[in-house]
Amino acid sequence: MSNQMKALAKVKPEVGLWAVERPVPEIGPDDVLIRVNKTGICGTDIHIWNWDEWAARTVPVGLVTGHEFAGEIVEIGRNVTDLAVGQRCSGEGHLIGRHSRQSRAGKFHLDPETRGIGVNEQGAFAQYLRLPAFNVVPLPDAIDDEIGAILDPLGNAVHTALSFDLVGEDVLITGAGPIGIMAAAVARHVGARHVVITDVNPARLELAAQVADVVPVNVATEDLREVQARLKMTQGFDVGMEMSGNQRALDQMVEALVMGGRIAMLGIPPGKSPVDWSRIVFKAITIKGVYGREIFETWYKMIAMLENGLDVRRVITHRFKAGDFEQGFEVMRSGLSGKVVLDWT
């Protein structure tokens, strides 16, 4: 194996990513080396490409980016006993510490020392990735590399969707991006009654209807209350999932929920947003902030659901060779795509 690999890195503090050659990572005794086969382009990667304010203060220049991947283990550290060379895998991109109360209690997704591959540490947009063996998630034969490469965002969707009991409930999802669409598919899979997903992007709403058995609503042209009446909903939605990061969408969700409704909030409104807390208090609404995936409960649940019939493949709308990454990012930035997958083989 050559000691050089192809990768995508943020080599300048400006818009874009650049194809580079880097040394193949050397692994430690508790790590594995993964040959990357497929990667997904994430919304976080778009922030890094655009070099927005968050990216500029968070991502070190020179970093190999990317954190959604699937591949094959090609080398294992001397202390690794439960994984094998040749094993197919994806992995948790949040690298946790071991010292905080949260981590020591097994609540790994709440560890304040967490660092992210492709954000703080060398990432997966490369032919090879070093990853702690602890973070590796083996893939069953039923899950191919293409789906394996989008398990990270699917995990966000699953974590959000399973925050509250959905069986027999009416669900409102604001934001028909790929994660919102996958959350809608999960909600239907686990037994929600009506699932309504809202956006102002017709292409995304059309994709949502193709991926999942949901009611897509363009709130720029349709009245959500009329949709509720058409579905014979007498009070409101039981559970909301806010995926858009749009304050107006959150406000609309609060209005549309029943008394005692519950909101799982993954979207992040930019800056500081005005909130009418009286509406939330007087409607006794519960809001849960959702970050990443529950390590590793979310992984077990989503793999089980995929093996049991959950189908999200149609959320992948574009596929490119890794060398054509600029086209992939252009499509992703257009807002007219679902998930975009890069092939590194």
- Under DSSP, the state recorded for 117 is B
Q: How far apart are CA 172 and CA 299, in angstroms?
A: 24
Map 274-339 to HEC letters.
CCCHHHHHHCCCEEEECCCCCCCHHHHHHHHHHHCCCCCHHHEEEEEEHHHHHHHHHHHHHCCCCE
Amino acid type, 295: I
What is the three-class DSSP state of 61? coil
The Cα–Cα gap between 237 and 196 comes to 9
Active site residue 44: yes
SS3 of the chain: helix, strand, coil, percent, to 5: 30, 30, 40
Q: Are 138 and 83 in contact (CB under 8 A)?
A: yes
48 φ, ψ (degrees, to nearest 5): -70, -45
The secondary element (H helix, E strand) that includes residue 197 is strand 195-199
Residue with tokens 């430690």: 28
Question: What residues contact residue 58 under an 8 Å CB cut-off, 6+ apart?
Answer: 119, 120
Q: Residue 116, Cα to own-chain centre: how many angstroms?
A: 13
Active-site annotation holder among 39, 44, 174, 298: 44
The residues carrying an active-site annotation are: 44, 47
